[in-house]
Amino acid sequence: MNSNLKNQPSKDGSVAKKDIVILDLIAKDHPGSFEMLIEKYGNLVWSIGKKFLGNQSDLEDAVQEVLIAIWKSAGKFDPSKASEITFVSMIARRRFIDYLRKITKHKSEDSMDDDNNNIHLYKESLLNQETDLALVKSAIDELDEDDQELLNLSVYQGYSHSEISDILNIPLGTVKTRIRRNLMKLKDTFATNKIQSNVIQLNNG
């Protein structure tokens, strides 16, 4: 995939406006909506992919797969559960994790160090295809305010550990430790909330 795809304009030459819900247009099969998806979120998807894949060729192939996956998932978007950018970002991370798993089965070297790889796997367990976004948000809301900010920067906004260290002005080692600790805490909280939610649904049934 050519990196120019990130900034490709729509077919009619117009530029996608920030307030346009691209996923809604895709779901309605609006002409030029795929180009608008690339225009609005191509750079974001590319940026997220770079945090998972170091090889340019792998990255280009993966970005193409991710954009197609977002296109196919547009009909599942529910603005009452998450914003459009959050929905797009979470699909991108899921797909990049899947792609990373796939290529590491066929390569002898992993481009990531073990610590970062473990963090990505923790994220995958939270952001799997079955995850209810509302429950994830509820679990994050139960954390301390500082930890909420840390996970929002890492999980939702896709900042690297070093970038978070600069943003929050805390040591890199502290960032890694707190992210790992809070992701594990979040997994436990999310599991509890999901069980409670299922019980409520059964009782209401």
CATH at residue 50: 1.10.1740.10
CA 87/CA 81 separation, integer angstroms? 9
Question: Which among 81, 111, 141 is the end of a domain?
Answer: 111
Number of domains within the chain: 2
Examine the domain organization and report whether 22 and 107 are in the same domain.
yes
Specify whether the CB–CB gap between 73 and 91 falls below 8 A: yes
Final residue of a structural domain among 111, 131, 155: 111
Does 145 share its domain with 165?
A: yes
- Residue 97's domain spans which residues? 1-111
**Residue 142 and residue 173 in one domain:** yes
Residues 97 and 49: their CA atoms lie apart, in Å, by 9
Same domain, 86 and 128: no
Give the tens place of pLDDT for each residue, 33-84. 889 999 999 999 999 998 888 778 888 889 999 999 999 998 899 888 889 9
Give per-residue pLDDT as tens, 145-200: 888 888 778 776 777 888 888 888 888 888 888 888 887 777 676 666 554 544 43
Q: Evaluate whether 196 touches 135 at the Cβ level (below 8 Å).
A: no
